[in-house]
Amino acid sequence: MNDFKIDDLKPEETITYRHEFAATPQQVFEAFTNPTLFIKWFGPTDWKIIPNTLTLEPVIGGRKQFVMRHKDQAKFQAPMYMRFVTLAEPHTIEYREALPTPSGQPSDTLIGLRLEFEAGTAVTEDGVGEGTIVKLTQGPLPAGVHEQTLASWQGSFGKLAKLLAR
């Protein structure tokens, strides 16, 4: 599932997003790789992971798959099928996601996702201090879904920031 390089994608097919967290790179990395933490925050606003659907195997080639459900309209569900292709704790995570078919099964259409975690000065709602800058790169994605995808990540990262602030 790792037959392309994110760096080789065309800029118009790629979204890049930076978010700053008041937490260490290790804490942010763990929020992506620890199932107990991941299930608490991941998903766009109004979406949650169905707990018994989560498989999270943080090793190269390991699976990260689950189904999300809309909080108000349970009939709306979104399956996710990913495999880890890079794990460099606590600096980088990279996945390949197999988009679901209309029947909800993984397809041959792959999307890449890279997350880079860098210690530095973070500006958050709580002020300025030591933290982690996360750089997300995702693609190939058609331009028509960039805005919605970015909004989904912003919602997820907002939930993650609250979890890490506890």
Under the banding of pLDDT at 50, 70 and 90, the label for residue 122 is: confident
50-58 mean pLDDT: 97
Report the mean per-residue pLDDT for the chain: 94
CA 164 to CA 143: how far, in whole Å? 32
The answer to whether the CB of 17 falls within 8 A of the CB of 23 is no
- pLDDT surpasses 70 at 2: no
CA 34 to CA 54: how far, in whole Å? 11
Q: CA-CA-CA-CA torsion for 85, 104, 49, 95, nearest 10 degrees? A: 10
Under the banding of pLDDT at 50, 70 and 90, the label for residue 166 is: confident
Under the banding of pLDDT at 50, 70 and 90, the label for residue 103 is: confident
Residue 103, both tokens = 């029947």
Residue 144, both tokens = 């028509």
Indicate the pTM of the whole model.
0.92
Instruction: Give the pLDDT score at 1.
Output: 45
The answer to whether the CB of 111 falls within 8 A of the CB of 99 is yes
- pLDDT surpasses 50 at 9: yes
Helix (H, G, I), strand (E, B) or coil at 150: helix
25-34 mean pLDDT: 98
Residue 102, both tokens = 């209309």
CA 73 to CA 137: how far, in whole Å? 30
Topology (CATH) of 13-45+88-165: Alpha-D-Glucose-1,6-Bisphosphate; Chain A, domain 4 (3.30.530)
Instruction: Give the pLDDT score at 126.
Output: 75
Listing DSSP states for 11-77 in one string gives GGG-EEEEEEESS-HHHHHHHHH-HHHHHHH-SSTTEEE-GGG-EE--STT-EEEEEEEESS-TT-E
